[in-house]
């Protein structure tokens, strides 16, 4: 059993370093074979375009869910200014999985706002919303995605 755990740990470590084939590491202990396979899905949605535009994305890997967003100005004469944001993540018809609020400088090229990580039940649908505001301008984007394990 110790050899089995050691082989899986080594495969995971090599995989995280990008060593080719490490993700397919297998171990055999008294006729039992174990392997690791992961698949993640990223779904994004854009909000309406005005003075600001935003995009929010969720990435689902098994029951693990992460959410983050990006906001950029649409005006060519935009100067960097302070912006506030709220990123929410939840299960549709169910519990909130988290809220991230804060502020930062929104430069002419745009920037990422917010990050959340949580676990959602298999078979559920998650939704994430990013709302960004600055000097009377605002934008919001919402995405929903199924958690298929």
Report how far residue 114's alpha carbon sits from residue 112's, in angstroms, rounded to the nearest whole number: 7
Ramachandran assignment for 74, one of left (phi > 0), alpha (psi -120 to 50 degrees), beta (any other) = alpha
Burial degree of 142 (CB within 10 A; 0-12, 13-18, 19+): middle
Number of alpha carbons in the 13 Å side-chain half-sphere of residue 89 = 25
Kindly report the average pLDDT of the chain as a whole number: 81
Nearest to 128 by CA among 103, 101, 92, 104: 92
Q: So what's the pLDDT on residue 125? A: 98
Residue 86: what pLDDT?
A: 97
Nearest to 34 by CA among 46, 24, 23, 26: 26
Entry pTM: 0.73
Which pLDDT score is estimated for 38? 64
DSSP assignment letter at 92: T
What integer pLDDT is reported at residue 32 of this predicted model? 41
């Amino acid at each position: 059993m110790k050899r089995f755990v050691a082989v899986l740990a080594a495969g995971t470590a090599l995989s995280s370093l990008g060593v080719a084939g490490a993700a397919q590491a297998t171990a055999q202990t008294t006729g039992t074979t174990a392997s690791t396979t992961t698949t993640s899905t990223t779904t994004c949605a854009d909000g309406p375009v005005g003075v600001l535009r935003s995009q929010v994305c969720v990435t689902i890997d098994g029951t693990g869910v992460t959410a983050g967003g990006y906001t950029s100005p649409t005006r060519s004469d935009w100067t960097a200014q302070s912006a506030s944001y709220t990123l929410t993540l939840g299960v549709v018809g169910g519990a909130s999985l988290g809220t991230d609020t804060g502020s930062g400088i929104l430069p002419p090229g745009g920037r990422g706002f917010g990050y959340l990580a949580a676990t959602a039940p298999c078979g559920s649908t998650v939704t994430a919303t990013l709302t960004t505001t600055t000097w009377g301008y605002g934008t919001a984007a919402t995405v929903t995605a199924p958690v298929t394990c």
